[in-house]
Amino acid sequence: MRLSFVTILVAIVAALGIALIAALWRRKKAGTGNVNLLGETARVVSLLNPEGTVLVFGELWRAKSNSGHFIQPHARVRIVGFQGHLLLVEVCD
């Protein structure tokens, strides 16, 4: 009886672990492919000095001020280009 309880418990924990890994895998950002963010707006999370982070569609992205100037947190910015996986942004008017 005890062995079967432990076996069932291990099986449940393993199934939950696999389900968690599968859920996290689906939310992973694509490493390749087209990302259609050009022209979208974002909110600065950490000071762009000239690099920092922005929030786009609920995801944090590394970003760089296209002009090289500082951009303060909470500022609204527009995505104008890419430099690898780094977004190039400008302050919205």
Per-residue pLDDT tens digits for 26-62: 655 555 555 688 999 999 999 999 899 999 988 899 9
The stretches of 1-93 forming alpha helices (DSSP H) are: 2-26
CATH topology of domain 41-91: OB fold (Dihydrolipoamide Acetyltransferase, E2P) (2.40.50)
Confidence of residue 14 (pLDDT cuts 50, 70, 90): confident
Confidence (pLDDT) at 30:
54
76, 56, 37, 39: CA torsion to nearest 10: -20
Beta carbons of 26 and 56 less than 8 angstroms apart: no
Which pLDDT score, from 0 to 100, does residue 48 have? Answer: 93
Q: Which residue ranges make up each domain of the chain?
A: 1-30, 41-91
